């Protein structure tokens, strides 16, 4: 057995950290959301939950989070969380189940706890065909060792109920290396689904390959689902990636918040170097938003509503806090026109691009950039 299969490396810590950060936001919201009755969480390649070095794997992280949130929200919520842990190796799920019982991590009032030892292909088909329950939401974590089992069509199938979010880990570095020479058939099939033939084998770096895959997924699912990536660097020039898929702008926004909270500078990914900077430097990290600022200014060359600006921000994989900062800067240099729809005098710094307005589709104002030669 390979060492990496016993001890997750640092990059695995980041994988579960992002999973945790995102799920925390997602579950907290669903616990109190109107109309939501059940949240089905699937970890389809769950592993054993606890490693010999004491590190916790995804199912343990998921369950602890659910338990904490369930008991915090209990007074105001009736939502049940059903946990579904699958690994085709039954020894792993036995170990996991023993650990969960020993640590008293689950109580039946929280929802059901199910273990499966199915092949991913079989279980995934069962999930797609499962009877749709009103008010049910699904979160699916897919963390295989390789990529052989994975197909974009399958992910699309999982997302098709429009109430499902998928987080997928891919060993993109191995795929990138193979993409360059002697592409195995499984990878060839995978790439054929997402990348035009002329682009295959053309990536200039591992990171470029990750972004090409992201854009390939994005094009394939365009108009139906949002896609983003998060890069995890293991060694110099060794890049792995998490891909996130959702049908909901709001889910997408929460994912962006999670990834920008790990990489405050670029919202792109994590590398061991960042941690050194965090440890040894007291310099504040600022988001690099220059490119986005340029795009936003172009977008605002015509009047745009607060709702349109929110969508533009999220679709450009940025946060509303970035947009507010940029708009304030433009406003301070007197290059911003804000017209409130109720004809009231605009309040400085009020742009109404938060989720409350977006949720209710309330058009509060129209905003335009007008260069007065001062920016
Ligand atoms: C990368 S590990 C999962 C690690 C886990 N997410 C964690 O955080 O600890 C992949 C797991 O998938 C299981 N596995 C591999 N192929 C599978 C398949 N086709 N169907 C189901 N499980 C599979 C392996 O036994 C292994 O435990």
Residue 163 sits in a domain whose CATH number is 3.40.50
pLDDT at 280 over 70: no
Q: How confident is the model at residue 161 (pLDDT cuts 50, 70, 90)?
A: very high
Q: How confident is the model at residue 216 (pLDDT cuts 50, 70, 90)?
A: very high
pLDDT in tens, 315-361: 999 999 999 999 999 999 999 999 999 999 999 999 999 988 998 99
Taking the C-alpha atoms of residue 303 and residue 367, their distance in angstroms, rounded to an integer, is 5
- pLDDT of res. 273: 57
> In the structure, how many helices (H) and strands (E) does the chain have?
15, 11
pLDDT in tens, 41-79: 999 999 999 998 889 999 999 999 999 999 999 999 999
For the record, the structure tokens of 369 come out as 């950039």
Angle at 318 between CA 346 and CA 218, to 5 degrees: 130
Question: Final residue of a domain: which of 280, 298, 331?
Answer: 280
- pLDDT of res. 4: 41
Are 137 and 182 in the same domain? yes
* Ligand 1 pocket check for 88: Cβ under 6 Å: yes
Smallest CA separation from ligand 1 atom 4, residue:
47
The tally of domains found in the chain comes to: 2
Are 134 and 255 in the same domain? yes
- pLDDT of res. 212: 93
- pLDDT of res. 374: 57
Are 171 and 306 in the same domain? no
pLDDT at 275 over 60: no
- pLDDT of res. 314: 96
Taking the C-alpha atoms of residue 149 and residue 168, their distance in angstroms, rounded to an integer, is 12
Are 348 and 236 in the same domain? no
- State which H helix or E strand residue 230 sits in: strand 226-235
Q: Within a domain: residue 308? A: yes
Lowest mean pLDDT among 150-154, 201-205, 264-268: 201-205
Are 295 and 265 in the same domain? no
Are 166 and 56 in the same domain? yes
Helix (H, G, I), strand (E, B) or coil at 304: strand
Q: Within a domain: residue 259? A: yes
Q: How confident is the model at residue 188 (pLDDT cuts 50, 70, 90)?
A: confident
Question: Final residue of a domain: which of 243, 261, 280?
Answer: 280
Percent of the chain at pLDDT exceeding 90: 72
How many angstroms does the Cα of residue 243 sit away from the middle of ligand 1? 17
Are 161 and 55 in the same domain? yes
Are 34 and 164 in the same domain? yes
How many angstroms does the Cα of residue 239 sit away from the middle of ligand 1? 20
Count, residues in the chain: 375
Indicate the top mutation candidate among 9, 145, 232 to test ligand 1's pocket, ranked by most ligand atoms within 8 A of CB: 145
Q: Within a domain: residue 84? A: yes
How many angstroms does the Cα of residue 150 sit away from the middle of ligand 1? 13
Alpha helices in 221-364 (DSSP H): 249-262, 272-280, 290-299, 306-315, 320-332, 355-359
* Ligand 1 pocket check for 58: Cβ under 6 Å: yes
Smallest CA separation from ligand 1 atom 9, residue:
57
Taking the C-alpha atoms of residue 223 and residue 227, their distance in angstroms, rounded to an integer, is 11
Beta bridge partners of 228: 244
Which of ligand 1's atoms lies nearest the C-alpha of 87?
Answer: 22
pLDDT in tens, 355-369: 889 989 999 999 999
What's the mean per-residue pLDDT of the chain? 90
Report the relative pairing of strands 226-235 and 164-170 from DSSP bridges: unpaired
DSSP state of 75: G
CB 79 within 8 A of CB 37: yes
User: Residues near 175 by Cβ (< 8 Å), separated by ≥ 6?
Assistant: 147, 187, 190, 209
Which of ligand 1's atoms lies nearest the C-alpha of 49?
Answer: 9
Taking the C-alpha atoms of residue 159 and residue 128, their distance in angstroms, rounded to an integer, is 8
Q: Within a domain: residue 285? A: no
Which of ligand 1's atoms lies nearest the C-alpha of 145?
Answer: 1
Q: Within a domain: residue 375? A: no
Taking the C-alpha atoms of residue 23 and residue 30, their distance in angstroms, rounded to an integer, is 10
Are 108 and 247 in the same domain? yes
Smallest CA separation from ligand 1 atom 7, residue:
57
Q: How confident is the model at residue 279 (pLDDT cuts 50, 70, 90)?
A: very low
Are 216 and 196 in the same domain? yes
Indicate the top mutation candidate among 46, 96, 168 to test ligand 1's pocket, ranked by most ligand atoms within 8 A of CB: 46
How many angstroms does the Cα of residue 143 sit away from the middle of ligand 1? 6
Q: Within a domain: residue 106? A: yes
pLDDT in tens, 108-134: 999 999 999 999 999 999 999 998 889
- CA-CA-CA-CA torsion sign (123, 128, 134, 136): positive
Q: Within a domain: residue 157? A: yes
How many angstroms does the Cα of residue 169 sit away from the middle of ligand 1? 11
> What is the residue range of 191's domain?
3-280
Are 39 and 181 in the same domain? yes
Are 119 and 169 in the same domain? yes
Q: Within a domain: residue 374? A: no
* Ligand 1 pocket check for 92: Cβ under 6 Å: yes
Taking the C-alpha atoms of residue 105 and residue 341, their distance in angstroms, rounded to an integer, is 51
Indicate the top mutation candidate among 8, 144, 150, 234 to test ligand 1's pocket, ranked by most ligand atoms within 8 A of CB: 144
Question: Final residue of a domain: which of 228, 253, 280?
Answer: 280
Which of ligand 1's atoms lies nearest the C-alpha of 141?
Answer: 6
CB 210 within 8 A of CB 231: yes
pLDDT at 94 over 60: yes
- CA-CA-CA-CA torsion sign (268, 269, 275, 276): negative
* Ligand 1 pocket check for 91: Cβ under 6 Å: no
């Amino acid at each position: 057995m390979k060492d990496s299969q016993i001890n997750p490396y640092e990059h695995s810590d980041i994988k579960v950290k992002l999973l945790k950060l995102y799920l925390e936001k997602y579950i907290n919201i669903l616990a109190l959301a109107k109309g939501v009755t059940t949240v089905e969480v699937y970890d389809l390649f769950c592993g054993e939950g606890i490693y010999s070095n004491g590190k916790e794997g995804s199912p343990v992280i998921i369950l602890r989070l659910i338990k904490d949130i369930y008991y915090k929200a209990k007074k105001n919520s009736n939502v049940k969380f059903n946990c579904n842990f699958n690994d085709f190796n039954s020894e792993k799920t036995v170990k996991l189940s023993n650990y969960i019982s020993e640590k008293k991590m689950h109580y039946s009032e929280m929802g059901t706890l199910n273990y499966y030892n199915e092949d991913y292909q079989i279980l995934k088909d069962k999930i797609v065909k499962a009877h749709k329950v009103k008010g049910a939401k699904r979160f699916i974590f897919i963390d295989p060792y390789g990529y052989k089992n994975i197909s974009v069509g399958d992910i699309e199938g999982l997302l098709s109920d429009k109430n499902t979010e998928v987080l997928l880990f891919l060993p993109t570095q191995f795929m990138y290396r193979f993409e360059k020479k002697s592409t195995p058939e499984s990878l060839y099939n995978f790439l054929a689904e997402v990348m035009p033939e002329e682009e295959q084998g053309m990536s200039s770096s591992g990171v470029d390959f990750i972004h090409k895959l992201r854009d390939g997924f994005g094009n394939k699912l365009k108009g139906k689902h949002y896609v983003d990536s998060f890069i995890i660097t293991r060694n110099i020039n060794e890049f792995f990636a998490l891909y996130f898929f959702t049908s909901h702008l709001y889910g997408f926004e929460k994912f962006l918040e999670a990834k920008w909270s790990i990489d405050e500078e670029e919202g792109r990914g994590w590398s061991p170097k960042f941690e050194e900077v965090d440890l040894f430097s007291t310099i504040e990290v600022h988001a690099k938003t220059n490119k986005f600022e340029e795009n936003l200014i172009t977008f605002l060359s015509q009047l745009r509503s607060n709702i349109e600006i929110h969508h533009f921000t999220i679709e450009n994989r940025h946060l509303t806090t970035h947009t507010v900062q940029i708009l304030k800067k433009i406003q301070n240099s007197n290059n911003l026109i804000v017209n409130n729809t109720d004809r009231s005098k605009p309040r400085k710094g009020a742009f109404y691009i938060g989720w409350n307005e977006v949720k209710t589709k309330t058009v509060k104002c129209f905003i335009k950039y007008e260069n007065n030669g001062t920016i």
